[in-house]
């Protein structure tokens, strides 16, 4: 991934390095497995000849299980749709925009609400304190 270096060791995905701290991203086993599953199930809606004139905005290196040589992909664009290119094969793949986060980002950790943040939504009102239907 552009911001992560993930490795499968002894059947477990591990984060070797990241531009983010482990305080910022969720590095749980479930999140790693979900990211890998997203890649396994990704489906491009369009495949076309790679246009080498387009500058890459990022790089992805994937080493498949049982293979020694990695596959080098480039991120051509993330908007309006995700376009990944495989220059060695001369092809590029277009994915819908909603796949950017599913393929390129680990989820961020939920941070506890800051009680001094006045822009944060108020906590829900407990059911016993809510007005009942028909009351005035």
Domain assignment present for residue 123? The answer is: no
Domain assignment present for residue 122? The answer is: no
Q: What is the pLDDT of residue 89?
A: 93
- Tens-digit pLDDT profile for residues 25-72: 777 788 878 888 888 899 999 999 998 887 888 888 887 778 788 888
Domain assignment present for residue 105? The answer is: yes
46 CB-near residues (< 8 Å, 6+ apart):
93, 94
End-to-end CA distance of the chain: 57
Domain assignment present for residue 127? The answer is: no
Q: What is the pLDDT of residue 16?
A: 66
In a 13 Å sphere around the CA of 31, the CA atoms on its Cβ side amount to 15
Q: Please tell me the total count of domains within the chain.
A: 1
For residue 78, the enclosing domain spans 4-110
């Amino acid at each position: 991934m552009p911001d992560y270096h993930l490795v499968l060791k002894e059947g477990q995905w591990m984060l070797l390095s990241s531009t983010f701290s482990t305080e910022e991203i969720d590095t749980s086993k479930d999140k790693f497995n979900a990211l890998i599953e997203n890649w396994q199930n990704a489906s491009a809606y369009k495949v076309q000849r790679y246009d080498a004139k387009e500058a890459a905005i990022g790089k992805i290196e994937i080493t498949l299980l049982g293979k020694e040589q990695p596959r080098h992909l480039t991120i051509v664009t993330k908007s309006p749709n995700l376009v990944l290119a495989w220059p060695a094969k001369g092809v590029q793949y277009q994915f819908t925009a909603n796949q950017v986060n599913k393929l390129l980002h680990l989820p961020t950790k939920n941070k506890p609400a800051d009680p001094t943040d006045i822009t944060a939504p108020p906590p829900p009102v407990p059911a016993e304190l809510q007005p009942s239907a028909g009351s005035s």
